Amino acid sequence: MSETPVVTRRPVTTVQVTQVRNGVARHVSDGLVTEEPLELRVAGRGGEATTLTVTMRTPGHDFELVAGFLLSEGIITGHEDIEAIRYCQRSEDAEQLYNVVTVDLRGPFEVEAVRRNVMTTASCGICGTTSIEQLTRRCDPPRVGTVIGLGAVAGLIDQLRPSQKVFDRTGGLHAAGLFDALTGALLAVREDVGRHNALDKLVGNGVLANNLPFDDRVLMLSGRVSFEMVQKAAAAGIPIVAAVSAPSSLAVRTARALGVTLIGFVRGDDCTIYAHPERIDLGVGS
C-alpha cells in the first residue's frame, strides 16, 4: 500500500490500514498523530529573517510553540520582545505555507551565536554542570510560598487524561497540563508528538497572553522528565513539576539547583518527590 503524503494543519491524519483481530483481517480507517517539520525563522529589528532551527511537531498552536521555545532558550524574556509572528508568505509554495513560522523581534538578533547555543543544547554537547550554571544565571528561582496538597497531586493526572483529545484518537503523543496551585483547577492542555513541543506550546500560550511567570501554577506531564523539561518549566517560573513517569538524573540535579519541586511516578495516591518537597503538604503522618 502506498500513499502520497498530504500537507495538513490537522493534528490527526487518517490512513487506510489492514487490521487483524482474532485472526481476521479487515481494511479500516485509522487515525495517526500528524508529524511534520516546522522551520523557525527569526528576524531582529531591521534585519532579515534567518532560519534558527527545524523541529518535528504536531500541527496546531504553532505560534505558541515558537514563543515558548524562544523563551526557554533565553532568546526572549517575554511578550514585549516579540513584534510579530507569522506563517510563511510564499503562497505559491503550498507545502511550506504552514510549516514555516517567522518571528520578528523588537530588538537586535545575532543568529550565529544563538544558533550555536541552540544546537549545542539540543545535542547535549555541554556537560550537565555547565548547563545548570547557565540556567541559574538566567532563571529566577520560583516562588517559595507555593504549596499543594498530596491529594491534589494525585488528582492532576485524573484531570489531564480526559483532556487529551488527540491522544484518544491516536494513542501516540504527549501532553502537558497547567493547573492552578491553589484550587487544583486545570487551566490549559497542549498535546504534541514531542513532549518538549507540548510544553513549549503551553509556555508559549503564557508568553503571547503576557501571563508569565507561572509562579502559582503546577505542571503535569504525561511522560518522563528530562533536563530540557525542567529548563523550560524554570524559564516560565513554574514552581512544581509532576509527571506520570521518571525523571533523568540531570533533571533532578537541575530541579534541585533551580528550586523547582519535582515529582515523578504519580500513580493514584503514590508518587516520588525528587526535589524540594517543602512545597508538598504531605498531611498527617508524613
Structure confidence by residue, pLDDT tens digits, 68-84: 999 998 899 999 999 99
Lowest mean pLDDT among 79-83, 98-102, 204-208, 209-213: 98-102
> Which range, of 32-41, 72-81, 253-262, averages the lowest pLDDT?
32-41
Q: Is residue 20 part of a domain?
A: no
Check whether residue 99 and residue 79 sit in a common domain: yes
- Residue 9 belongs to some domain of the structure: no
221 and 154 in a common domain: yes
Q: What is the pTM assigned to this prediction?
A: 0.84
Please state, rounded to an integer, the average pLDDT across all residues of the chain.
Answer: 82
**Range 183-191 average pLDDT:** 92
Which of 88, 124, 127, 271 is flagged as catalytic? 124
Distance CA 205, CA 198 (A): 11
| Shared domain check, 246 and 169 | yes
Query: Could you confirm whether 271 is annotated as catalytic?
Result: no
At residue 279, the pLDDT reads 92
Residues 186 and 131 grouped into a single domain: no
Residue 170 included in any domain: yes
Burial 210-238 (b: 16+ CB within 10 A, else e): eebbbbbbbbbbbbbbbbbbbbbbbbbbb
In a domain, 259, yes or no: yes
Say whether both 249 and 270 belong to one domain.
Answer: yes
d(CA 23, CA 77): 57
Residue of higher predicted confidence among 101 and 94: 101
Q: Enter the DSSP assignment of 107.
A: S
User: Is residue 96 over pLDDT 70?
Assistant: no
pLDDT of 60 higher than 80: yes
Least confident of 41-50, 97-106, 127-136: 127-136
